Amino acid sequence: MKGIIVVTGASSGFGRLTAEALALNGHTVYAAMRETAGRNAPQVQAVKDFSAQHKADLRAIELDVGNQGSVDAAIETIIKADGHIDTVVHNAGHMVFGPAEAFTPEQFGELYDINVLSTQRVNRAVLPHMRERHQGLLVWVSSSSSAGGTPPYLSPYFAAKAGMDALAVQYARELSLWGIETSIIVPGAFTKGTNHFAHSGRPADLARVAAYEAGPYAGYGDKIQEAFGRIVPDDADVSGVARAIVEVVNAPFGKRPFRVHYDPTKDGAEVAFAVIDRVRDEMLHRVGMGDLLRPRGPASA
């Protein structure tokens, strides 16, 4: 069954690949991005060109996940045009790189806003429509860093992604009885095929960066990136994340996996999350709330 899908942060990277892959599978896909009339104007044109070339229903839409008014306006535009939204892919995010101490608290807050609060803005706009229909799917693009082996110098990003993953888990419990499903996609590290490292932010406190570079951590930034480059296989295909999302979206109601891993580096997150999710599930069974672990079908709504 083809659906109406919103993909946040779809100007590039996982978001763009996912939006294109879903459109090629026959869905109507809104590639959400900021500044469609400004810096992302070339991306908007690329979306139009892709849609025309492949005869796919891919549409760019102005949606700034950092602005509730922008989010509300975009969601209402889609509802008016198509009547409903079937799936939201929470993909918008940003990465930073450097010693944690050198980032200001304000920088931490900005990163949390982009990676976590953005999903809350979108959810508050779209969930009333999904709850009214007792139908919908939230796909959250998490990170293997939330449970797998991690290097230093990515602390603010890892902390934010862990927060988003925890939020996704709790939302799943609070939406299942509304018939709204949740799937969490867990990509590993990719040093090629996305703009994560190229566009990553840097610490604002340059004096503290200099202190680390003058001390025992001299050169560690380069060491970390070189180490990551060595463990990521040459044939690691970042588009596999998009394919995993397409498989989830195309799966029938009640059969969608709660968590899907795509990690060519095998950092251990798949093993760790298996234990973590099982412990969480068992606790809900212990307190008599096991029904929250399965989406309730329309017939029982």
Q: Predicted confidence band at 191 (pLDDT cuts at 50, 70, 90)?
A: low
224 has a pLDDT exceeding 50: yes
Looking at the chain, the whole-number percentage of residues with pLDDT higher than 90 is: 83
E strand segments, 67-208: 87-90, 136-141, 180-187
Confidence of residue 65 (pLDDT cuts 50, 70, 90): very high
| Per-residue model confidence (pLDDT) at position 198 | 55
End-to-end Cα, the chain, rounded Å = 21
Across the range 102-115, mean pLDDT stands at: 96
Instruction: Give the residue with greater pLDDT, 289 vs 301.
Output: 289
Structure tokens at 93: 């995010």
Percent of the chain topping pLDDT 70: 95
What confidence score (pLDDT) does residue 192 get?
57
Q: What is the per-residue pLDDT across 254-293, written as a single tens digit (0 to 9) for each?
A: 999 999 999 988 899 999 999 999 999 999 999 999 999 9
- pLDDT at residue 193 greater than cutoff 60: no
Q: What does the mean pLDDT of the chain come to?
A: 93
Is 32 within 8 Å of 85 (Cβ atoms)?
no
pLDDT of residue 55: 97
Is pLDDT above 90 for 199? no
Cβ contacts of 206 within 8 Å, gap of 6 or more: 102
pLDDT at 155: 94
Averaged pLDDT for residues 133-158:
95
Q: Is the confidence at residue 76, as pLDDT, over 80?
A: yes
Whether residue 299 is predicted with pLDDT greater than 80 in this model: the reply is no
pLDDT score of 226 more than 90:
no
Query: Residue 246: which pLDDT band, with cuts at 50, 70 and 90?
Result: very high
Rounded Cα gap, residues 28 and 82, in angstroms:
9
299: number of Cβ within 10 Å:
7
Q: Which of 163, 146, 151 is nearest to 191 (CA)?
A: 151
pLDDT at 301: 47
**Contact at 8 Å (CB) between 130 and 85?**
yes
Structure tokens at 41: 């104007």
Nearest to 253 by CA among 301, 297, 299, 300: 297
The pTM of the full predicted model, rounded to 2 decimals, is 0.94
CA nearest neighbour of 98 among 227, 13, 204: 204
Q: Which residues are catalytic?
A: 157
pLDDT at 298: 67
- Give all domains of the chain, ordered by start, each with its CATH number: 4-300 (3.40.50.720)
Q: Are 183 and 168 in contact (CB under 8 A)?
A: no
Amino acid present at 230? R
Decide: 70 and 125 in contact? Cβ < 8 Å: no
